[in-house]
Amino acid sequence: MAKVVRNSKFRHLFGTSFQLRDCYGDIRIGQCSFESNVLKANSDFFALPWVTPGSVVVIPLEQKGAVNEETPLILDEDKETINELNFAPTNNHVLVTAHQNGSAKLWNIPQGGLTGNIVEPAVVINASPKRLLYVDFHPLASDLVITAAADYEVKLWDATNPGAEKATLPKVHKGIVTSVTWNHDGSLLATSCKDKNLRVFDPRSAAVVGEVPDHQGAKSGRALWLGKQDKILTAGFTKTSERELVIYDPRALKNKLATVKVDNSTSTPLLFSDDDNDVVFLSGKGDGNIRYYEFANDAIGLHTLSEFKSKEPAAGMALLPKTSVNVMKCEVSRFLKLTPQGQVIPIRFEVPRQNQDWFQEDLFPDTWDLKATSTAAEWFSGVSRKPNLRSQKPAQ
């Protein structure tokens, strides 16, 4: 077990569900890859596969209540199953989807949301002859797309010139890639894989920087690079099916910095982090609870904060950007939780403070401004820039 933190400003951090009027309901959830988190969100929209084959529903966050079954959709004319989807982290109006026929498609979302079905993608990337199981964007370089297919190949693409891959990772994966995570400046990436290994790559040099056996249980694991701390957190299962968290130094993967035994839940882990405050959240598909920990550069590594408990299991979970939180109410994180019944419930995490009349600077350090620091072409040429920061203090 992780040691309970006692002298932290986050030791009383607690989560609360929003009122019913602030939720979204009647969502007809479609099929997606088992490895997918299913629900994706940014500060304007959330998206998930709709029941119509090859379709995605995109809902503005301001549109509360029931979602009409006639709602406009992103609708792939090939009606190929969508195995994964993700918003561009630096552009709220771009979404990418991974398809059963091996293609990745980029879609432009109008200001304010969809007013009719969108059937023509902005960009098509023919990524693989096999099923495409994973697709996402580089966290800081605009138009840079990464894909992983059922043949275990991981490729990088410039969406402004999608005719051929710009880089391919070494063919070392011996199973399906279950997660991809990037370091703080986007120069290195790490993968979790069904072959039970954690790997770190320099993708521009097509080099394996490090590799180590990770969680040895049968179920899938996840990896998450802890931003500015430059540590990698993984979640997975032991051989006896116990859920666990492990922290690694990417420069010395052989030595585990910390191991935390969590529980005997069978839910597929979902990892999130508040890099500004070094707070880590662990949820899971099929798990109603959210555990949260504080990361520290000490012998303990992860310190237990508390747990948000709910009887309603999660079919998916999304952490919203910092621009979505109410800083004057000391809200440090906000999630969206998808239930199996087709409801999306906001969950906010707050630090109780007696006086909320002024901005609490210790809770809200400068945060990423959500803007790209390079283009895909610049990144492939060797450019790596850290995120630009901005103040979270509201304008007077």
Q: Range of 294's domain? A: 3-360
- Could you tell me which of 161, 127, 130 has the C-alpha nearest to residue 144? 161
Which has more pLDDT, 219 or 147?
Answer: 147
Evaluate whether residue 396 is within a structural domain: no
- Phi and psi, residue 332, nearest 5°: -95, -20
Burial class (CB in 10 A: 0-12, 13-18, 19+), 242: middle
d(CA 99, CA 104): 6
- pLDDT band of residue 111 (cuts 50, 70, 90) is very high
Evaluate whether residue 394 is within a structural domain: no
pLDDT tens digits, 290-333: 999 999 988 888 999 999 999 999 999 999 999 999 999 999 99
Evaluate whether residue 374 is within a structural domain: no
The tally of domains found in the chain comes to: 1
d(CA 90, CA 263): 36
Burial class (CB in 10 A: 0-12, 13-18, 19+), 10: buried
Evaluate whether residue 378 is within a structural domain: no
Evaluate whether residue 376 is within a structural domain: no
d(CA 39, CA 190): 22
pTM over 0.85: yes
d(CA 118, CA 112): 14
pLDDT over 70 for what percent of the chain?
98
- pLDDT band of residue 266 (cuts 50, 70, 90) is confident
Amino acid 35: pLDDT: 87
CATH at residue 131: 2.130.10.10
Q: Which SS3 state, helix, strand or coil, does residue 94 take?
A: strand
Amino acid 3: pLDDT: 65
Evaluate whether residue 390 is within a structural domain: no
* 342 torsion bin: left (phi>0), alpha (psi -120 to 50), beta (else): left
Evaluate whether residue 301 is within a structural domain: yes
d(CA 378, CA 383): 6
Evaluate whether residue 262 is within a structural domain: yes
